[in-house]
Chain A
């Protein structure tokens, strides 16, 4: 289908700026100027269609304090554009309206037209690497990337394109996850023109909103990285997690079937920091989540595999009627679902259905695309029967699927859904493309909608549902689309996969939390001849693999899971820090220079400004030392400097030197040890030295800054999840702090300290030590009393101490810890009292007992979890190896590992020197 350019708005005389952001401005003549950059560009709006007929008329342009408006009026079409600033980008927010009687296939675009003398060396099309610019036009059309064979879909580009010379970058694009099935990017070196366009279909009377992005930045720390970071900073809402920081499911590790194939174990899950599970799968026919009576029995197209694990039990579907099976599923989900974060596996977001079901009930929904993607799968989503790709958006199947999810949320009290195969790249061309839906596009074969539109639509649908407490649901997704907790389906030891997927997939996941998901150590793959190893060599191998996985977890902010935790206390040890960093949100740009000369291969950054963390990892056998210079201009929007201290559990001191916009410090990166530096504050200060120290305890964190030169600045302190600022003092005198910032003066050689108080712990470690949980022989000598609603939570104390007994935690249990239940228990000595209502927190009672109180049972349960983490230092356990995927029973037997635990280095303790 030949594309014809309908019109281009040309350049005109330069007038005053009409709309501007931090670093660039667009004037009424659509001339785009960048602060400190000689290159200017003429912004052009373009419109094309498959046939071509008219030229874009002259637009009406208006400007106001907030935006620049550009309106095109055509006989059957209006295109109204508002250009508004967003961070370091400008966003063209458009409305296109078809006032005619016929459908219109359109390709609106944006272009930067540069002057003749301008040249660029490279082009980025949105995929994983930049391309050299030659003499011929370079670009991409559409969003299909490389085939992802396992998921039957394809990679897709990040929704931006750029040209660059040195570190100066001009970029165009769209907003991540906006419903677009086709985008194109092109640079024509002859015409000096960067183009970005998208395709839409407009039905008669339809109005469609689209967003296009433009901007220019310097990117001295990587071109795509700079652009993607600009997107993260400018559109944080697209990567925001449902329920935010208080979401109880998405800031931990993944059970990886431990809570689904086996009977869920609260204490083991807590020790492994597990917060959610992938429940593959709780239905019989793929695409029929409800297990309806009238669709339960059928003749499968392939011999039927009837067994599946469900909540710790091998379930044979053939022995169940539909009502019996539904009862079983309901009973399991109500018992375990919310406690263990069971994300209901929903047949790949509704993109695969058992073939006969789809053909009989949802023929309009079948997706026939076979261009580089699969139409059929064998025994996958269900393990039961063959499946065909379906399209859950605007189709009969979408209605059924949404209805089913809504019912399941209500019936099973779900915490969320697990979306497998969250990728696009399969084009639906069925009847729903005739409906006036957003997300339609066109090509040589006609109208289509990409699968990504449908999956993102289903994610939005799920996020719109509420549980019975009115809380939003979470989406655990495997891929590159919308959702709250990401999965990359490979273990970090599978380097080839990561080389293929990253960095593009990591950019697309963005600052969201997530996990790896494969066979842990993957011993069979990485060491096929493991039987040739001695026991000592095998344990050395597992230790090395573990360190590799740990260094990578900090590098990518995606957690390892329980498969690498049995027998390996180091993997458990690092989780508090690793998960805290994940919660601080992974960032793509690394604005630092080091003296390491490539010897520290692992570097990453989380957060920005006063909430920044930097991680350094050295996989070599030798320690590496050197100076690090952090570019503050990339971390703060104002001319502020960020001060850091080595992140340790107890205390640390770091000498910062602020010079020429950089914060510098020396560090040592020991072999196979993650080293983290945490920001303490961001402020305006003269060049000079600042000594930063930390002191941490259960209920309190104190950071102290001792500047060499006087400071007179607004200072921003860090937000620490679970803590609030209790006091700020300069040389011992209190200073008023508003929110997390304060205006203050610190004299040269003075001392500024900020103290954070725990929201949960209102008792100190010393208080905790006073309470005797066990006698010298390790026998529990306390009792628990609770309100009736928390009886189940109280049982966790028995689980805790029985677990500690089982795994050499220094406990001997003869009898259960006594638990008494009453409506209004009175705190008492030698007693842990669980209360609902009143002041929330963990505190000492006057009589020496411990009180744990919360607003409701769920919150109380979470407080008890936190309380147990404090107890873990007193009762450290040794969880030995056991058979898991990636380290199988024959290996455990061969090397006699069933009582073995690898050594663990407490490298986040001490003073960090």
Chain B
């Protein structure tokens, strides 16, 4: 038995593509993740590393040149005389998975990477017989200049001659570095729902922002979300949000607490039949915002925090792409102008707190023409 050292040779295909990347916008560089050849996708604001061989893992997320924000990926291959090489990968980083199938390390090949005509950087990987199924999975990760978000598309093609029932799953174990137990997860939950499809989900009487702190609650939950996102925050750390596209009527969010410090935010798409040769896609985003006191919700690509004082209600705004100056309206509180919001920066807007204004009710409003609802936090 021995632990194999992963060859540190970057595939030639990657090298040839990297040479053409410019440095002033989005850069794509070779790197390594846990000893495996990987690709770094970065702009002036954020960066991340993607390792195709290691389940196409998304890791080493950084903002403004900071140290890596999330726990590192640990991957190793153990060889045995009789067994196929055994891959071990910890629950860290983001990857695609298939709901209903155990998450096991898989290997992807880099299909292309480089700068696209619109200036964005793109990494595309693919894998045949994904997770032992007759499926070809392709995953693209895109970063635009000046944005602090990664746009991810997972596409699955049914390569068999029979219909396949699949449920795509964005598995993101992005526990923030430091005392992981202090990570706080926030899910905008839909009230009155106890079941989705075949699964019981955590029940809430009414719509709310469910706050789960690993230190206090080590349970795993399936969650019916009112809006398809889950946030992770902690004092002294940036705000990290997983946002999914359409989940479908049987889709849900999931959080798993492992035996160690794992505390995940995951999105599971509704199961669907895919005909032979047919495809199915799942769009997700990893949004990164600067640390935000009292984060309460998203309004489009803007994160909103709300701090309620004795006589004031203070809103903090941060965006994952540049937002022009605009109008911020909070129902029952008033309207104010916001300045330009640059990714990585925050803007604050304050209102005088009316006497009868209740903190335990949802706060609705509109920012730059997009409506928002900030839900009361439970528990």
Which of A's residues lie within 8 Å of B, judged by CB?
Answer: 146-147, 149, 302-303, 372, 378, 386, 493, 495-496, 523-532, 541, 544-545, 547-548, 551, 601, 619-621, 672
Q: Chain B 46-90, CB within 8 Å of chain A: the 1/0 string?
A: 000000000000000000000000000000001011111010100
The reply to whether A619 and B88 contact each other, CB–CB distance below 8 Å, is: no
The reply to whether B129 and A548 contact each other, CB–CB distance below 8 Å, is: no
Which residue from A378, A530, A601 sits with its C-beta under 8 Å from B132?
A530
The reply to whether A531 and B132 contact each other, CB–CB distance below 8 Å, is: yes
Across-interface contacts of A619 in B (CB, < 8 A): 80-82
Query: 23 A–B contact pairs at CB < 8 A?
Result: A146-B259, A147-B259, A493-B83, A495-B80, A496-B88, A523-B132, A524-B101, A524-B102, A526-B84, A527-B84, A528-B130, A529-B106, A529-B132, A530-B129, A531-B128, A531-B132, A548-B82, A601-B1, A619-B80, A619-B81, A619-B82, A620-B81, A621-B81
Query: Chain A: which residue is nearest B85 at the CB level?
Result: A526
Across-interface contacts of A302 in B (CB, < 8 A): 195, 200
Question: How near does chain A come to B38, taking the closest CB pair, in angstroms?
Answer: 21
Q: Chain B 244-284, CB within 8 Å of chain A: the 1/0 string?
A: 00000000000000110000000000000000000000000
B134 at the interface (CB under 8 A from A): yes
The reply to whether A528 and B129 contact each other, CB–CB distance below 8 Å, is: yes
Question: How near does chain A come to B178, taking the closest CB pair, in angstroms?
Answer: 22
* Bound CA–CA A601/B101 (angstroms): 33
Query: Chain B: which residue is nearest A302 at the CB level?
Result: B200
* Bound CA–CA A146/B259 (angstroms): 8
Across-interface contacts of A495 in B (CB, < 8 A): 78, 80, 83, 86
The reply to whether A386 and B83 contact each other, CB–CB distance below 8 Å, is: no
* Bound CA–CA A619/B218 (angstroms): 41
Question: How near does chain B come to A499, taking the closest CB pair, in angstroms?
Answer: 9
Q: Ordered nearest first, which 10 A-B pairs have the shortest CB separation? A: A619-B81, A548-B82, A528-B132, A524-B132, A544-B82, A531-B129, A529-B129, A147-B259, A620-B81, A619-B82
The reply to whether A526 and B83 contact each other, CB–CB distance below 8 Å, is: yes
User: Contacts A147-B259, A619-B81, A621-B81 hold; do A532 and B104 have CB atoms under 8 A apart?
Assistant: no
The reply to whether B104 and A529 contact each other, CB–CB distance below 8 Å, is: no
* Bound CA–CA A679/B132 (angstroms): 47
The reply to whether B200 and A378 contact each other, CB–CB distance below 8 Å, is: yes
Q: A149-B258, A532-B128, A619-B81 are in contact. List 8 more A-B contacts (CB 8 A).
A: A303-B195, A496-B88, A528-B106, A528-B129, A530-B132, A541-B84, A545-B82, A548-B82
Query: Chain B: which residue is nearest A531 at the CB level?
Result: B129
B131 at the interface (CB under 8 A from A): yes
Question: How near does chain B come to A149, taking the closest CB pair, in angstroms?
Answer: 6
* Bound CA–CA A775/B83 (angstroms): 45
* Bound CA–CA A548/B258 (angstroms): 30
Q: Considering residues B82, B128, B130, which has the most beta carbons from chain A within 10 angstroms of its beta carbon?
A: B82
* Bound CA–CA A748/B5 (angstroms): 58
Across-interface contacts of B128 in A (CB, < 8 A): 529, 531-532
* Bound CA–CA A149/B200 (angstroms): 19
Across-interface contacts of A548 in B (CB, < 8 A): 80, 82-83
The reply to whether B129 and A532 contact each other, CB–CB distance below 8 Å, is: yes
* Bound CA–CA A218/B148 (angstroms): 63
* Bound CA–CA A547/B82 (angstroms): 7
Q: Chain B 93-117, CB within 8 Å of chain A: the 1/0 string?
A: 0000000011010110000000000
Query: Chain A: which residue is nearest B106 at the CB level?
Result: A528
Across-interface contacts of A529 in B (CB, < 8 A): 106-107, 128-129, 132
Which of B's residues lie within 8 Å of A, judged by CB?
Answer: 1, 78, 80-84, 86, 88, 101-102, 104, 106-107, 128-132, 134, 195, 200, 218, 258-259
Query: Chain B: which residue is nearest A529 at the CB level?
Result: B129
* Bound CA–CA A544/B86 (angstroms): 14
The reply to whether B83 and A528 contact each other, CB–CB distance below 8 Å, is: no
The reply to whether A531 and B82 contact each other, CB–CB distance below 8 Å, is: no
* Bound CA–CA A149/B129 (angstroms): 29
* Bound CA–CA A553/B291 (angstroms): 54
Query: Chain A: which residue is nearest B134 at the CB level?
Result: A531
Question: How near does chain A come to B31, taking the closest CB pair, in angstroms?
Answer: 26
Question: How near does chain B come to A500, taking the closest CB pair, in angstroms?
Answer: 10
Query: Chain B: which residue is nearest A548 at the CB level?
Result: B82
Across-interface contacts of A551 in B (CB, < 8 A): 82
Question: How near does chain A come to B118, taking the closest CB pair, in angstroms?
Answer: 34
Question: How near does chain B come to A354, taking the closest CB pair, in angstroms?
Answer: 14
Across-interface contacts of A621 in B (CB, < 8 A): 81
The reply to whether B200 and A525 contact each other, CB–CB distance below 8 Å, is: no
User: Contacts A495-B83, A672-B82 hold; do A525 and B129 have CB atoms under 8 A apart?
Assistant: no
Across-interface contacts of A493 in B (CB, < 8 A): 83
Across-interface contacts of A544 in B (CB, < 8 A): 82-83
The reply to whether A149 and B259 contact each other, CB–CB distance below 8 Å, is: yes
Across-interface contacts of A601 in B (CB, < 8 A): 1
Across-interface contacts of B88 in A (CB, < 8 A): 496
Across-interface contacts of B131 in A (CB, < 8 A): 524, 528
Question: How near does chain B come to A316, taking the closest CB pair, in angstroms?
Answer: 18
* Bound CA–CA A611/B84 (angstroms): 37
Across-interface contacts of A672 in B (CB, < 8 A): 82
* Bound CA–CA A149/B83 (angstroms): 26
Across-interface contacts of A547 in B (CB, < 8 A): 82
* Bound CA–CA A530/B133 (angstroms): 9
Question: How near does chain B come to A489, taking the closest CB pair, in angstroms?
Answer: 14
Question: How near does chain B come to A346, taking the closest CB pair, in angstroms?
Answer: 25
Question: How near does chain A come to B256, taking the closest CB pair, in angstroms?
Answer: 10
* Bound CA–CA A741/B75 (angstroms): 58
Across-interface contacts of B101 in A (CB, < 8 A): 524
Query: Chain B: which residue is nearest A147 at the CB level?
Result: B259
Question: How near does chain A come to B99, taking the closest CB pair, in angstroms?
Answer: 15
Across-interface contacts of B218 in A (CB, < 8 A): 372
Query: Chain B: which residue is nearest A525 at the CB level?
Result: B104
* Bound CA–CA A58/B69 (angstroms): 62
Across-interface contacts of B106 in A (CB, < 8 A): 528-529
Question: How near does chain A come to B270, taking the closest CB pair, in angstroms?
Answer: 18
Question: How near does chain B come to A597, taking the closest CB pair, in angstroms?
Answer: 14
Question: How near does chain B come to A623, taking the closest CB pair, in angstroms?
Answer: 13
Query: Chain B: which residue is nearest A305 at the CB level?
Result: B198
Query: Chain B: which residue is nearest A373 at the CB level?
Result: B218
Question: How near does chain A come to B22, taking the closest CB pair, in angstroms?
Answer: 37
* Bound CA–CA A303/B128 (angstroms): 37
Question: How near does chain B come to A286, taking the closest CB pair, in angstroms?
Answer: 16
Query: Chain A: which residue is nearest B107 at the CB level?
Result: A529
Query: Chain A: which residue is nearest B257 at the CB level?
Result: A149
* Bound CA–CA A601/B81 (angstroms): 10
* Bound CA–CA A523/B106 (angstroms): 14
* Bound CA–CA A530/B258 (angstroms): 29
Question: How near does chain B come to A525, taking the closest CB pair, in angstroms?
Answer: 6
Query: Chain A: which residue is nearest B105 at the CB level?
Result: A528
* Bound CA–CA A724/B248 (angstroms): 71
* Bound CA–CA A378/B199 (angstroms): 9
Q: Considering residues A147, A496, A527, A531, which has the most beta carbons from chain B within 10 angstroms of its beta carbon?
A: A531
Question: How near does chain B come to A426, taking the closest CB pair, in angstroms?
Answer: 14
Query: Chain A: which residue is nearest B131 at the CB level?
Result: A528
Question: How near does chain B come to A386, taking the closest CB pair, in angstroms?
Answer: 7
Across-interface contacts of B83 in A (CB, < 8 A): 493, 495, 526, 544-545, 548
Across-interface contacts of A527 in B (CB, < 8 A): 84, 132
* Bound CA–CA A526/B104 (angstroms): 9
Across-interface contacts of B80 in A (CB, < 8 A): 495, 548, 619
Across-interface contacts of A525 in B (CB, < 8 A): 102, 104
Across-interface contacts of B129 in A (CB, < 8 A): 528-532
Question: How near does chain A come to B151, taking the closest CB pair, in angstroms?
Answer: 27
* Bound CA–CA A523/B132 (angstroms): 9
* Bound CA–CA A303/B199 (angstroms): 9
Question: How near does chain B come to A444, taking the closest CB pair, in angstroms?
Answer: 19
* Bound CA–CA A619/B107 (angstroms): 26
Across-interface contacts of A378 in B (CB, < 8 A): 200
* Bound CA–CA A221/B218 (angstroms): 41
Question: How near does chain B come to A145, taking the closest CB pair, in angstroms?
Answer: 11
* Bound CA–CA A671/B82 (angstroms): 11
Across-interface contacts of B134 in A (CB, < 8 A): 531
The reply to whether A528 and B200 contact each other, CB–CB distance below 8 Å, is: no
User: Contacts A149-B259, A302-B200 hold; do A528 and B81 have CB atoms under 8 A apart?
Assistant: no
